[in-house]
Structure 1
Amino acid sequence: MGLWEVQALRFGPGIVPSPAEVGTALVRLLPEQDFWAAVWATISGSIIGLAIAAVLAVPLGMLVGASPFLGASTRLSVDFLRTIPPVTLIPLIVLLYGPSTWMKIVLIVFGCIWPLFVQATYAIREVDPVLRDFARAFRLRTRFLWLNVLLPSSAPFLLTGFRIASTIALLLAVAAELIGNAPGIGREITLAQMGAQVPTAYAYVVIAALLGVAVNLGTGLGQRKALFWHPSVRGR
């Protein structure tokens, strides 16, 4: 906070506002309906994009992980596509969907699908061979095998992928709003900058940062609660 105050004195309020000015702007924003609409647009877009990515990536990843042939066939394509920074696709997606919520959701889906897919693939491959042999020896039904053997064994990998993807979803939502002018916190930052309302822009930046911290802490707590039975959690 002290360093922030020093930088505000150095550059001036027109470039770096003081913490007091940002706090005043934030207090002024809280009662406004447009503020909460922007926050909800960012949160809802992140949730929808993450949910779509999870529905697509997790079953496909587990299927590819369970089949050595599919794993070998898709490895090159997956390794190539996952290295493409999602932000570089914003101009193309804006051209297709315009500065809309769907543009933001498509970008989030593309960015989140790869960590979920990769983690789901690794999850199946890392299942204890003893469990596989046990299921094969007792000729367990496929449904029982997936629900009671494979999914519990894969849960740590899947939840780690979800935690990573949830942070990516929020980052891409704000990026799509900043660059692609989609509704949300990012667009409000841009509008405040264009209107020379620097403290307001910083206030929205603070809100975005607080959302990121909340997402990280919330997903971490949820992961620990869901894996209370896992040795890595019981040992803490």
Structure 2
Amino acid sequence: MTITTDELAAQPSAASSGTGPARLATGRRSVLRRLLFSQLSGIILAFVVWEVVPRIGLVPQRYIPPFTEVLPQFVTELGRAEFWVAAGNTLWAWAIGLGIGAVVGVLIGVVIGSSAAAYRATRFVLEFLRPIPSVALIPLAVLLFGINGQMKVSLVIFATVWPILIQTVYGVRELDPVARDTARSFGYSGWDVFWHVTLPTAAPSIATGIRIASALAVVIAVTAELITGVSGLGAEVLFAQSAGSSVRLYALILAIGIVSYALSQVIEAVERRLLRWHVSFRKEHA
């Protein structure tokens, strides 16, 4: 049986076209497995180091107890109603503060970024206020609101506004004038230009600002609770420290880290879902 040159040339093409989707799916599964393995390896390594360092005496166990002592206490905390009440209070401050901070930051950022004159006029004020740590404003917040949830939320709002505002300003200023002028030449109103041109251009930058602000909101909420004793996970850490219970202290710190990581993953998942149309996300999943 004779096989011609054309038939030989067609065989690889047919094989590749027939198995292309399968190969692509297999490749994606392989990448996911490697990614999951690398993440699990890093987590296991961190826990092993945590266990070994105090066991061999590099750090006294009364300061950093081994992981195998902290883990049972962490499980115990998960079964306590007080823990979930404290976690709910922290998450409430995170959600309200981040939500208000996002709305305020995006609105002001769009206004400033859309006008060169407004950008020049406010640049000094933004650069002056942005580095001020929210923790430094705790005494003022206590005087204004008292030691309560409003005080905590106000600090979270102040902390989260700046990264969102700055990212929004930069995102709006990256708008191509040609795209804006083209939209206007087709009869788009100012609102249409903003909704269909300006906002999609700035959306990735806004999403980055929200992702940064999300982690910052957890830090500020827990810090405010830790310093003032207002109800939340930070207050639970303060009580454990006051009682001299280092095991419970680190169990709560572990819980705070897990909560922060979970919130970060939720924010990233929402970002990928909402911005799957953007070129950066298409390249990432190509």
Q: Is it true that 1:5 corresponds to 2:51 in the alignment? A: yes
Within a 5 Å distance, the mapping from 1:141-160 to structure 2 comes to 141-160=189-208
Deviating above 3 A after TM superposition, structure 1's stretches of 4 or more consecutive aligned residues are none
Which consecutive residues of structure 1, in runs of 5 or more, have no partner in the other structure?
none
CA distance in 2 between counterparts of 1:2 and 1:234 reads: 37
Aligned to 1:95: 143
CA distance in 1 between counterparts of 2:91 and 2:208 reads: 20
Q: Is it true that 1:28 corresponds to 2:76 in the alignment? A: yes
> Please, which of 141, 160, 185 is the counterpart of residue 233 of structure 2?
185
CA distance in 2 between counterparts of 1:16 and 1:60 reads: 45
Letter aligned with residue 54 of structure 2: A
1:116-154 per-position Cα deviation (integer Å, ceiling 9, x unaligned): 111111121111222111122223112222221211121
Deviation at 1:84, TM superposition (A): 0.9
1:44-63 per-position Cα deviation (integer Å, ceiling 9, x unaligned): 10110011111211111101
Q: Matched residue of 1:188: which SS?
A: helix
Select the structure of larger CA radius of gyration: 2
Letter aligned with residue 207 of structure 1: A
> Please, which of 46, 67, 73 is the counterpart of residue 19 of structure 1?
67
Letter aligned with residue 206 of structure 1: L
- TM-score w.r.t. length of structure 1: 0.94
> Please, which of 34, 56, 60 is the counterpart of residue 104 of structure 2?
56
Deviation at 1:12, TM superposition (A): 4.3
Q: Is it true that 1:129 corresponds to 2:177 in the alignment? A: yes
**Greater RCO (CA < 8 Å, at least 6 residues apart):** 1
> Please, which of 212, 215, 219 is the counterpart of residue 171 of structure 1?
219
Letter aligned with residue 6 of structure 1: V
Residues 91 and 180 in structure 1, CA contact (< 8 A), matched pair in contact too: no
Aligned to 2:26: none
Q: Is it true that 1:37 corresponds to 2:85 in the alignment? A: yes
Deviation at 1:14, TM superposition (A): 2.8
Of 142-151 and 47-56, the range deviating more from structure 2: 142-151
Letter aligned with residue 52 of structure 2: V
Matched residues, percent identical?
37
Deviation at 1:186, TM superposition (A): 0.7
CA distance in 2 between counterparts of 1:195 and 1:42 reads: 21
Within a 5 Å distance, the mapping from 1:58-77 to structure 2 comes to 58-77=106-125
Letter aligned with residue 247 of structure 2: P
1:100-130 per-position Cα deviation (integer Å, ceiling 9, x unaligned): 1111111111111011111111121111222
The alignment's C-alpha RMSD in Å is: 1.4
Residues 172 and 202 in structure 2, CA contact (< 8 A), matched pair in contact too: yes
- TM-score w.r.t. length of structure 2: 0.79
CA distance in 2 between counterparts of 1:203 and 1:41 reads: 18
CA distance in 2 between counterparts of 1:85 and 1:2 reads: 34
